[in-house]
Amino acid sequence: MPLDETSGVYFEIHGSGPPVMLGMPWFASHGEILSAEAEPAFKAFVGVLAERYAVLAMDYPSIGKSRDLAPEKLTADRVCADLLAVADAAGFERFAFVGYSWSAATALQLAGRTDRLSALAIGGWPPLDGPYEAIWAAARDRIGRVEPGAMRVLRSADQYRQWDTFYRSVVGHWDEAAVVGALRCPRMVYFGANGDLIEAGHSVPIASTIRRTRRTLEQQGWEVVEIEDRGHEVGVEVDIVAPLIRGFLDRVLGGTAAPVARGRAELA
């Protein structure tokens, strides 16, 4: 069982082959965190990828079997350090990252801080002109008024402050255009055509922003996939996104099938 004594993130590895790390909304303790009814979707999603890849799922941030991380510590720097520590504990030198929504935003931060990514398959967040200010404002406005749906994942309402910390550390602190323009690993972004959001009264234009920046993204080497008749919830529609992501990874990585390992990386 891998153990990194400097951290506290629980993770599991399913299958073998080229390494792939999953971010939210997929968790190592998926059924325990969400519900028993959610477990089949997780198994189906991971099963598609684990036929050819070593798929790492984790309980992050501060959920499931992982240790608590104080909300004021969840900066972009900390998130990236934690993800790399988990990769180290798993023996992943280079790895693909699969993320959606918040974990897509974190993947972009990670990609700007390391050359260890073999591929990016992200959805539900624009690589360019990301609406960080809007989602940050929505996060601030929800502090103390957390929606019941969020409490299915969070351990306490106070934990919601972690999103304020994260977006505060991003807005005005990174050069999005320069970082995204410099990426060279294979990369794909997908989104539901109806995926613009209203969060806490704030407009968060996700789908329309990706659509508007599509030409630039494709010129930079991104594969851009718009999924018709779907909204932001498409990220957990296994029948749609699992073959999409698997097909992308097969094209850029390849892989072979194998067994399951489990472990805990200790993140401080």
More confident residue, 10 or 6: 10
Q: Phi/psi at 224 (nearest 5 deg)?
A: -120, 125
* Side-chain-facing half-sphere of 209: CA atoms under 13 Å: 19
Residue 14 CB partners (closer than 8 Å, separation 6+)? 46, 47, 49, 50, 54, 55, 57, 260
pLDDT, mean over the chain: 92
The whole-number average pLDDT for the span 252-267 is 55
Domain regions of the chain by residue span: 7-252+262-266
Of 8-12, 165-169, 187-191, 226-230, minimum mean pLDDT range: 8-12
The string of pLDDT tens digits covering residues 74-122 is 999 999 999 999 999 999 999 999 999 999 999 999 999 999 999 999 9
The string of pLDDT tens digits covering residues 192-219 is 999 999 999 999 999 999 999 999 999 9
Q: CATH for 7-252+262-266, among 3.90.1200.10, 3.10.20.30, 3.40.50.1820, 3.20.20.80?
A: 3.40.50.1820
* Signed CA dihedral, 59, 84, 76, 209: sign only: negative
Q: What is the pLDDT of residue 4?
A: 53
Q: Phi/psi at 211 (nearest 5 deg)?
A: -65, -45
Q: What is the pLDDT of residue 1?
A: 40
What global pTM score does this model have? 0.93
Q: What is the pLDDT of residue 63?
A: 92
The whole-number average pLDDT for the span 168-196 is 97
Q: Is 69 helix (H, G, I), strand (E, B) or coil?
A: coil
pLDDT band at 153 (very low <50, low <70, confident <90, very high): confident
The whole-number average pLDDT for the span 224-241 is 98
Partnered with residue 21 across adjacent β-strands are 56, 97
Does 150 have pLDDT greater than 90? no
> Which tokens hold the place of 263?
């472990």
pLDDT band at 57 (very low <50, low <70, confident <90, very high): very high
CA distance 45 to 6: 30
